[in-house]
Amino acid sequence: MTFSATSPRPQPTARPRPRLIATDLDGTLLRDDKSVSDRTVAALAAAEEAGIEVFFVTGRPARWMDAVADHVHGHGLAICANGAAVVDLHAGGRMLEVRPLERDAALHVVRALRREAPGTAFAVEFTTGFHHEPEYVPLFMDGIATVAPVEKLLHEEEPGTGAPVLKVLAHHSELTPDGFLALARTAVGDRAAITRSSPTALLEISGLGVSKASTLALCCAERGISADEVVAFGDMPNDIEMLSWAGRSYAMGNAHPDVVAAASGRTVANNDDGVAVVIEDILAIGR
């Protein structure tokens, strides 16, 4: 989704070479047709060859990572579900770490949105798969899903016996995307983290403190990498914390205005290979 005009190519910088590149996928690394361009594939490979780790940091669940799995080199790790899971793409998306949304917090969110935004439809992303209410229209077909009221989906016979919840999704057919986000954050308070990455009024609810930024920070700390050594890319509100945390960050030419305000720089749109443009500049490719 394009919010503003395409920006010019970033100017070369004299900054030290980063140790890690963190990039969102949809609307950022991927073109609108969900492909990875040859130019971007070459840039990612060149970064890894130069000793710069590349992390894909996305709202997608692990099972939707096929589009980029072949382009992860070295460690093979990705951060999925807005920071709720760290997965090994070399091992078919096996989850190495999970930062769940507790079910009582999820139910608090559901009750608050049912009260403040009647007509909200819910879905739940578990570590074991995706399930939704009858009124919720899934974006992708994920095989057999349980279709039931969200309260039933979140119910456990005994506490702790159900699969961990990665995130709850909430969709409203009449509210504006940013309006729904603001309403939900006010209604829910400090019980959960709420963001969005869709051009529609679809919210993504995670555990309090769980975000792309916080999980990326944990992964970097394990590697002795500081925020100043990270370059990040994004386009939507779920990228804002990550872009604010990284030492260098780029909003795409198609980014949401709030993302542009949060980033320290700007590149061209995803369809113009904006991530590759910056990587080429960092590596002085073609100069």
CATH number at residue 46: 3.40.50.1000
What pLDDT score was predicted for residue 160? Answer: 84
Residues 185-194: contacts with CB under 8 Å, at least 24 apart = 186/116, 187/112, 187/113, 187/115, 187/116, 187/117, 188/108, 188/109, 188/112, 188/113, 191/105, 191/108, 191/109, 192/101, 192/105, 192/106, 192/108, 192/109, 193/82, 194/109
CATH number at residue 194: 3.30.1240.10
Residue partners of 122: CB distance under 8 A and separation at least 6: 110, 113, 132, 133, 136, 150, 153, 168, 169, 170, 171
What pLDDT score was predicted for residue 227? Answer: 98
Residue 25 lies in a domain: yes
Q: Which residues of the chain have pLDDT under 70?
A: 1-14, 71-75, 141-142, 286-287
Residue 157 lies in a domain: yes
pLDDT of 162-199, one tens digit each? 999 999 999 999 999 999 999 999 999 999 999 999 99
User: Final residue of a domain: which of 183, 207, 231?
Assistant: 207
Instruction: Count Cα atoms within 13 angstroms, Cβ side, for 135.
Output: 12
Residues 220 and 159 in one domain: no
- Domain interval for residue 183: 103-207
pTM: 0.91
Residue 6 lies in a domain: no
Residue 15 lies in a domain: no
Residues 121 and 166 in one domain: yes
State how many domains the chain has: 2
pLDDT of 55-76, one tens digit each? 999 999 988 888 787 766 666 8
What pLDDT score was predicted for residue 86? Answer: 97
Residue 135 lies in a domain: yes
User: Final residue of a domain: which of 167, 184, 207?
Assistant: 207
